[in-house]
A and B are shown apart, each in its own frame.
Chain A
Amino acid sequence: MKKVLAIALAAAMVLGSMAGCGAKGGEGKIKGAKIEFATRQTGDTLERLRTVVANFEKESGVKVELTEYANDDYESALKTRMASGELPDVWETHGWSRLRYGEYLAPVNDEAWYANENDLAKGILTGDGDTAYALMLTTSVLGICVNVTAAEECGVDVYAIETYDDLTAACQKIVDAGKVPFVTNRSGGDFTHVGGQFTTYDDALVNDAKAQLDGTYDFESFRAEIKWFAELMDMGAFWPDVTTASDQDNTERFAKGESVFYFANGADFCRNAAEINSDNTYAVIAFPAIKEGAKKYMAGGEGYAVGAWKDGKNLAAAKALLAYLAEHGGEFVEGLSAISTVKSVDTPATRLSEEAMQKYADAVYVNMWDREYMPSGMWGVFGDAVNQFYADWSDENIESILSFLKTNYDEKYAAMHSAE
């Protein structure tokens, strides 16, 4: 009897291992699989995401453990998990599907839903190469958030702003009217999102694109952008507590009409302001032309994007979740105030981002400049530089900031390319 049992067990083990061979790597049957999905969504969008995930669980039989990180902790948590080699099966890539997470994510080009991504999304997802690593449900469209009502009170027609000179003049009008033109969260985006207009694109003040990409950029051309910010600082275009104001301060000041612009931000900021004060009209306008004859720009990039861990034990289930989101993510996308990039996801065409895109149909939509032309890790460096600048915008400190940017760029470029 024992012999029979032993043979039966051995046969079962062999059959089991053969069944395992049928699955490529971690891809196997998905029913009953358990996967982890890391998200940084909060509030309404988190609720919407939970609903989509619950529906997926019902339909697929896959158990999804939604790990909810606070937005501020998300990047640190993911970096720690990359370092430890214990990544979630699916996670949100927040603009970094290629540069930061690419080596950990499974390519998605062969997924059926990938054909439905629009060209803008495909361009952002693949960059210079051919491989995409994430499902992109929305694109973020960044320009200048405007409290239109407050601008009108100051006699400023925001839609008449064509060039940076016009924007500077509008700021002076706003200061003269007793308001403060800008609020800012002092992120790296203050410097990076328009970096291309000053230093990179075809119609930029100086075209240093090649140098930026081959590691020889000296940041000399970046001086013009920082000088423009210094001009605004001298004018009083930022709040006296610009170095310490919190996100909440910024949103309230903008919503109350005490400030008119939020530089380099998207419709979600306007949505937050509208929740505080819905009496005002808000809009997103394009970054003005850097000079006469140049084009206006809007920075695009990964909006809501998710990828699957290529070494995950349940890769097939993770990919099934991506496919489900691609097809049934509409309700969720609806809550993101952003533009859907997947043709199968239908959202109403009434949101601010879409209005902005329609209004600025002639503007150039580009991927976020730092994601394309700067090595990974520079976002934090630019954030540091922005904070240094707001604390001291003297010529001497501007030189010090340029040197700081150059040193870090060299280090990070070398680190990034030594890994290749």
Chain B
Amino acid sequence: MLKKRKIKMMLLTAPGLLLIALFVFVPLVNGTRIAFYNWNGYGKTMKFIGLQNFIDLIHDARIGRTTINTLIYGIGSCVLQNVLGLAAAMFVNQKFPGRNTIRAILYMPIMISGFVMGQVMRYMFVYDNGVMNDILFYMFGMDKINWLENSWIGVALITLINSWQYLGLCMLIYLAGLQGVSATYKEAAAIDGAKPMQVFFHVTLPLLIPSITTAVITNLIGGLKLYEMVVGLTSGGPNRMSASLSQYIQILYFDDERAGYAAAVGIFQFVLILVLAMPLNRYLKSREIEA
């Protein structure tokens, strides 16, 4: 009976495993293979160069800045989305008229693609006829600012806008978590004299760890792979200085025709995500408690 059940369960997971093998494992193996070749990405000839692409990666003047950008996009977005998402979830978890409307409004930006959001926001910050510059000029009589010329401003804007756009997703995860926290624990703490902040930090938050794990890991990985928003808002500019690793890979592969090196950078990105996400996931899992 147990064996039959096991077979049934395996059959149920088979399609998922097959898809993972097809769309994750095979490209990963193929990408790793390409990383050992000098290839322009489309020609019929590939030349085996061993570890040269990985050696080039160490000496690549752009990889440092691109990695820093990627870490800011990943960690920055993750922190902002989770802090603001939790605050928003706690707010809309209360009973008040119009709370469903506010939930919908907060969730709405997710429905727009990252690229479109980046393009829309670009119009806020462009030099000519940008909303921000028009406000500065017409309301305060100030000179126009080329906001996007400073790559750090570009990086900050991308992080902020990405955080705002995906805040709704965090809110939903935390809302589900909050609704699973039994009121009796909070009431018991209140009877014992705990203040609201103490209830939050010592009762609500520990019980929310499973939600935090989901939200933090999802947002961290999403941020570290950020692509659409970067392309939409700054196109990685000026001078590729706001590019993320994902966009850098795309530039290397398609524009610079360095497919082998692009694959090596892809492996570096994969390892970076693994190194950050796995220990964090293990740590958060260890903090989960049974309610």
Which residues of A are at the interface with B, using a C-beta cutoff of 8 A?
A: 75-76, 78-80, 82-83, 100, 103, 239-241, 243-246, 249, 252-253, 376-377, 380-381, 383-384, 387-388, 390-392, 408, 411-412, 415, 418-419
Contacts and interface: CB of A to CB of B under 8 A. Distances in A.
A75 B254 contact: yes
A192 B250 CA distance: 23
Contacts of B253: 79
Contacts of B234: 244
B3 interface: no
Contact of A103 (B43, B146, B148, B149): B43
Nearest to B45: A419
Given A377-B40, A391-B239, A384 B256 contact: yes
Nearest to A243: B238
Contacts of A392: 239
B238 A244 contact: yes
Interface string B235-257: 00111110000000011011111
Contacts of B239: 243, 387-388, 390-392
A377 B256 contact: yes
Contacts of A408: 256
Interface in B130-162: 146, 148-149
Nearest to A84: B42
The 8 residue pairs across chains A and B that have the minimum distance between CB atoms: A380-B255, A243-B238, A377-B257, A82-B42, A241-B127, A419-B45, A391-B239, A76-B254
> Size range of the interface on B?
20 to 34
A418 B234 CA distance: 36
Nearest to B241: A391
B210 to A, nearest CB: 40
Given A241-B148, A245-B127, 15 more contacts: A79-B42, A241-B146, A244-B148, A244-B234, A249-B126, A249-B128, A380-B251, A380-B257, A384-B240, A384-B255, A384-B256, A391-B238, A391-B239, A411-B258, A418-B45
Contacts of A252: 128
Contacts of B240: 384, 387
A419 B43 CA distance: 9
Interface in B14-70: 38, 40-45, 47
Q: Which of A80, A390, A391, A408 has the most CB of B within 10 A?
A: A391
Given A79-B254, A391-B238, A415 B128 contact: no
A376 B259 CA distance: 14
A115 B237 CA distance: 46
A390 B149 CA distance: 11
Nearest to B147: A244
B259 to A, nearest CB: 8
Contacts of B259: 83
A391 B126 CA distance: 17
A267 to B, nearest CB: 25
B127 A244 contact: yes
Contacts of B127: 239-241, 244-245, 249
Nearest to A82: B42
B255 A244 contact: no
A381 B256 CA distance: 6
Contacts of A388: 239
B47 A415 contact: yes
Q: Which of B122, B238, B241, B259 has the most CB of A within 10 A?
A: B238
Given A79-B41, A253-B128, A377-B40, A243 B257 contact: no
A310 to B, nearest CB: 12
A280 to B, nearest CB: 18
B149 A376 contact: no
Interface in B189-245: 234, 237-241
